[in-house]
Chain A
């Protein structure tokens, strides 16, 4: 049994619910105990760090301080989301390297009676923990439904292997860990050339055309390699490639159909688990055809009850006032 402090991050409760569900499911056989950091807050995502260092690192530092407090027996914090992982690791690293920043952050934290000693925690990504603590042999031992015949494109995105402060990954450009893991699950893994390229990040919000181009590159490359699906370990990568696929197709007049799943979902499938327990079916780009190749039926989404039509209002609308929304 292996115990870790767990920082889920906001995506795991929303857009990456499938990631959380599948992680919870596979944790049991792998004897992975994840104790969630109590009262954790936002990691700052990708934008906040660029604005002002002290508040940004104080925001992240609060999570580290809480984790340090909660740490009993283990000092490893596991984050499944790439951005969370990077931000936590970055805060720890820079607080170690820059004494002034460390002082400022801890001054801010002291307002809430918190303190973080940089270097006291070990920040690791979920894939790293699975590969290096659980190990491929142990994972392989649980495989009962090998993913034979399923061609997968391993896609890590940019934030996990770079900048790699602690030299945990085999290579910053072409890390092989995810490939190795998927091979152990029995999948046919393509040598995906863009495995650490950009998914577009928040360009989907700021400059959609830029994002569409970045998304197209990734999906078309996986398609050129005849991948059945792409496997990712990052909620944002998954969302960009999955949720914006239709729009990207529309933008370029293409017709790509590339399901995007989390690696934990594939681990669960190979372990013979029920797709329902792995969040399979929550993806927007239908994975039925791909998963049928390994004999997995994608659970049909139950049709949502239609909303009751609102009553047609009579009379004229009132001007909106501050506090109106809260009252509703």
Chain B
């Protein structure tokens, strides 16, 4: 299997200790000597080990060898390519070698961290180095692809994270297109009354930003709209937006609200009022809505359902009502996309033992937000479901649907502070006795624990333990007509029954019900819980594995307002950096279709997670868009005709690597396949 061509190569092998991360399990010196002696015949001219190859001294070793020994291939046995491939490619570049002639072999993630037996680990590391050497011999020098970046950015979701991102970019002078599914931007924050821990009025701090978005010369807003199609790639996305019909001519509407006043149809508002209040069939969700134009709710409009009414049209002073509007599809070009699509509240009906939906005076957190909101259905009066009675005792149950293996394992982050906020509001407005039932109090971050202390001092009672049940089955005197909270008090070490008038369930946050569909639309991934997956959980929290798509806010995982805002700004900063670069260099690791071999079966078309493969109907062959391809290799493996090969993972490379792994290069000749 040795060919003349191979013999000409000069390969350098570098084995990293990674402190004790690798050297603690793998006999690094043995691997080094193996490469030097046994792989000498395969072109290895130098083999070294070093404590930290990624340090500048380690990198200089490689640079020096390339210059002095005239290396034309480099294999670094260290950590995962995810971490340091770039580092070592840069080192090769500095030494004057094409960076794609460097191969990283992961003997940390794939060997030392997952193997306990030292002997076996060392043997495996040797095999992997051997595979790496065989593979690198097949590598070709590559040049990165360069694509221009369109200066416009799409922001999906008009909650606080999306608003922040849009304003940051627009204020820097670049165009933003914002798409919001609801009639108004504002998101969940617009539903809140106060925000923890400072108790700022949510509307007071949010609405100025909403107005800024609405009036910004660089922001185009599409509310009551959804993204239905995404084509293209980083720098050049083509996005199709469906604008649902408002049945209101935005050019004529002044937002006077007469149509809403005159509309005879009243329905429960399940979205903005969380089912606790009413709205008309023609409505703006709340007075400070941006834009100010109302929407006619087709399913509930008397005219659309029964054919007569048109009260709104009769009274509209500017003739802005247009019953003939239809879905409108618009196509835009953007360079980058920020997804800030938020969350759904956990459906508390699923925890049947807490009685939500059966017991009238059990409320969800969002219901309570509306109840306590001065602009809410009760003008901020905290009352029971009958609408008049003030509660004299209130129980707030934490971790409903969170930290519970029956529902969601994760902590929803905001519920503890939210529970404290509710306790404060109830106390302040009604003087009622308030109980918080918690598993653990989680009041991390600035000024949060101080708020906890404040609520403690205000006299809110805290019971540590998971609530077993909320019931109206009175058992003891004084329980009749009350909701009884049955819980274990783990601090007192006993069972308690606490009768209250009102129960508030601090429900957790869940991914949007259609999060998977949205992720698929934009070509990104979701975690097993359904949150959008970031590129790196610590070091790259707003980027995704798909170039040009960024995420911000709760769509990425539960978080509070300050963190959502920070992520919105961070995503904007990443996008601005991209825009100012003007163009972006892409990894040249791409798949390509041999058009002569392609049978046009289209199997690869649907498998591609990045929608990178287009099909030429006229010639009946598939072609891969190199700027869109992320080099994942799915199509290469799937192609029944073997017509697709990947730069950086060609059949030659893979087969050689396998031969190397099997040590066919060091075994007696004749053992080859």
Contacts and interface: CB of A to CB of B under 8 A. Distances in A.
A194 B474 contact: no
B353 A224 contact: no
A174 interface: yes
B451 to A, nearest CB: 34
Interface residues on B, range: 10 to 19
B272 to A, nearest CB: 30
A173 B349 CA distance: 12
Interface string B457-486: 000000000000101111100001000000
A193 B473 contact: yes
A221 B352 contact: no
A87 B400 CA distance: 32
Contacts of A221: 473-475
Contacts of A194: 471, 473
A220 B475 CA distance: 8
Interface string A214-225: 000100110010
A191 interface: yes
Nearest to A213: B475
A138 interface: no
A interface, by DSSP: helix, strand, loop or mixed?
Answer: loop
Interface string B352-391: 1101001000000000000000000000000000000000
A224 B352 contact: no
Given A171-B352, A174-B352, A224 B471 contact: no
Interface in A170-190: 171, 173-174
A24 to B, nearest CB: 34
Nearest to B355: A193
Contacts of A217: 473, 475
Interface in B468-523: 469, 471-475, 480
Contacts of A191: 358
Contacts of A174: 352-353, 358
Given A171-B352, A174-B353, A224 B474 contact: yes
B353 A173 contact: yes
Interface string B20-45: 00000000000000000000000000
A221 B358 CA distance: 16
A193 B352 contact: no
Nearest to B359: A193
A60 B336 CA distance: 65
Interface string B415-445: 0000000000000000000000000000000
Nearest to B468: A173
Contacts of A171: 352
Nearest to B474: A224
Nearest to B470: A193
Interface residues of A, number: 10
Nearest to B484: A193
A204 to B, nearest CB: 19
B475 A193 contact: no
A171 B354 CA distance: 13
B278 to A, nearest CB: 26
B347 to A, nearest CB: 13
B231 to A, nearest CB: 42
Contact of A173 (B352, B472, B473, B475): B352
Contacts of B358: 174, 191
Nearest to A197: B473
Nearest to B480: A224
A174 B472 CA distance: 14
Interface string B614-644: 0000000000000000000000000000000
A224 B480 CA distance: 9
Contacts of B472: 193
B497 to A, nearest CB: 11
A224 B475 CA distance: 10
A193 B483 CA distance: 11
Contacts of B473: 193-194, 217, 221, 224
A8 B469 CA distance: 34
A1 to B, nearest CB: 36
Contacts of A224: 473-474, 480
A63 B370 CA distance: 58
Contacts of A220: 474-475
A51 B342 CA distance: 53
Contacts of A173: 352-353, 469
Contacts of A193: 355, 471-473
Interface in A191-210: 191, 193-194
Interface in A213-241: 217, 220-221, 224
A80 to B, nearest CB: 25
A224 B473 CA distance: 8
Interface string A275-307: 000000000000000000000000000000000
B323 to A, nearest CB: 42
Residue of A171, A174, A193, A194 contacting most chain B CB atoms (<10 Å): A193
Nearest to A176: B352
A45 to B, nearest CB: 26
A171 B471 CA distance: 16
Nearest to B481: A224
Nearest to A195: B473
Nearest to A224: B474
A196 to B, nearest CB: 9
Contacts of B352: 171, 173-174
Nearest to A172: B352
A31 to B, nearest CB: 34
A221 B476 CA distance: 11
8 contacts: A173-B352, A173-B353, A173-B469, A191-B358, A193-B471, A193-B473, A220-B475, A224-B480
Given A173-B353, A194-B473, 13 more contacts: A173-B469, A174-B353, A174-B358, A193-B355, A193-B472, A194-B471, A217-B473, A220-B475, A221-B473, A221-B475, A224-B473, A224-B474, A224-B480
The 10 closest A-B pairs by CB, nearest first: A174-B352, A221-B473, A193-B473, A173-B353, A193-B471, A173-B352, A171-B352, A194-B473, A217-B475, A193-B472
